[in-house]
Structure 1
Amino acid sequence: MNGDKAPVRVWCDGCYDMVHFGHANSLRQAKAMGDYLVVGVHNDEEITKHKGPPVFTEEERYKMVRGIKWVDEVIEGAPYVTTLETLDKYDCQFCVHGDDITTTADGVDTYHIVKSAGRYKECQRTQGVSTTDLVGRMLLLTRGHQQRGDSEYKVERSRTESMSEDSAAKSPWTGVSQFLPTTQKIIQFSEGKEPKPGDKIVYVAGAFDLFHVGHLDFLEKARAQGDYLIVGLHTDPVVNQYKGANYPIMNLHERVLSVLACRYVSEVVIGAPYSVSKDMMDHFKVDLVVHGATPVATDVDGEDGDPYEEPKRRNKFMLLDSGNTMTTELLVQRIISNRLSFVERNQKKEAKEANLWKAMNADQEK
């Protein structure tokens, strides 16, 4: 807070469909501009009208945004066009959005009112990720998104473009681009806090691919078992071995940031071994190892054994049912079963943004 001064309340809004680390990064930047972050989330009807059908329901999206650690308050059913009345209603001094442009179904900038009033600030959009990109990955189900070289990337991009009637329409904001991880980004997302003496340390491990409400509910319940929650994230080859097909959809670096953004997570182990060993439990001083309702593969490490043998031997293992049946596989099926709707949505969004980008450049050249 600013001493005796009133706290600076910041407003952000959006669809927040398939909440990913790009959304989280924009909210992190917005929170840094003030003291208290209020996030408005649009309902399904508004999104369908202006953008196309959302992947997640509004209730799922409200819950996901509340799970981001920089968010202080969520406003459900926020209007699609941000108005001064909205900012005043929630005592927010200004609105923050990324340096891309969001438009209504009629092509109107959704922030034109607050921009004109001088109550708008921009943060830097996270390159290499968007909901459009993630939906496209699931529609294609290629493995190029895991550890992608230049040639693989070009092949995947050309396949994505071939799905569009107008392959020349490329959006500078939602077009596929490779995410480049940095240590600075990880530091920005990490709490950087070590467990306090006497804290009960809980450990969970998995893929946490396409971070969703099932993951969120599980991590909330896992955190409730102790004071400090460590999440081990398996490498892409290990996830592919026990998930099969084209998983993971998001590579290890992307999954790390998605999990770090969760308010229930204290620390992440990047590339954690599949089996929870004696050394691992001793190193992190783990008091309890938790596993969810998903099946446990027994041969990922090349040995047909129980990966939780050590914590079970110590009587420090718990099976935990979050009560949420959502899985990454079910999420992918949700996309695939509505393939035509989402392909059309992606095409329209990229084409609209490409036309807007062209118009902006034309204005600058005058």
Structure 2
Amino acid sequence: MRIGIAGGGLIGRLLAWRCAAAGAEVEVFDAGAAGRCAPAAAGMLAPVAELARASRALHARGMESCRLWPRWLAEEDAAGLCVQRGAWLTAHGRDRGELERVADAIAAKVPDPDEHLIGYAGKELAEMEPALAGFERAYLLPAEGQVLVDEVLELLGGAAARAGVSWRDGAAVEEVGPGRLRAAGTDKRYDWACDCRGLGARPAQQLRAVRGECLHVHCPGLGLRRPTHVLHPRQPVYIVPRPADVYVVGATEIESDDPGPVTVRSALELLGAAYAFNPLLAEGRVVDARVGLRPALPDNEPALRVGDGELALSGMHRHGYLAGPACVSEALAAMGLA
């Protein structure tokens, strides 16, 4: 089976690798340069936390992705790039009502709330996660975790190449149709043509851009072990640990096509949230500031569309790492490669 893929971001790489691993002949066309990445992603696997404002379908895909990530990465001896210690849901004292509202919304959607939401407070919380000693209460979400995004993207490119995927960098696909990709005015024929271009698929798909900004802060003394969602009625944030005492603080969600650097307003909001989270972060060093434009559909949830010899994986929004493996698995099944 010959498969052509338009787009070499996270989803394109995942799909190419898994198709090639299943025995297909795969060719990827990517408009960008070799080695590019999705810079504003924190790699959170948050199928439970997302239930507060997302569908049960996204939750199911997220839970499936939490199972697939370590299994697939283990094939490359890289299971350690998926860290599953759970995650925290918390809020400052003045926002305690928001914490309980979100916890109640999640509990109403999961079959076993006591397994997915475990409350900690006071001394017990401080012992479990010392970096949260300044918070009165938090919920542990045991099913959650993270993937190390920079490392995973690099690994996926190498894994796809080792599986025999052909790569065409700097080759923008102008159109995807049944069994064909049009690039540089020339049609190329395949058994399946797959559209993973993200925002590059506009206007053929009803996609819009959502700008996301995040900061990387080096803070050796913090010691946070798990991704943490800090709730707020207007501006919730997350703090996500990375190797070498670096923490990702994010992320803004702005309806904008602007790919420019992080704005002063956003930086102030994120830094203020970091300082309020733990005073130790006041002495941290901002080592990176990243911006990404996320492709979103009207309902803000990923979609798999399958036709005769063509499929599209689109609208990943901020759920690429959460839903990507599950969506790719569904695409493989649609092409008879499961």
Q: For the superposition of Structure 1 and Structure 2, which TM-score range results when normalised by the shorter chain?
A: under 0.3
Task: Indicate the structure with greater strand content.
Answer: 2
**TM-score of the superposed pair, with normalisation by structure 1:** 0.24
Task: Indicate the structure with greater helix content.
Answer: 1
Highest CA radius of gyration, 1 or 2? 1
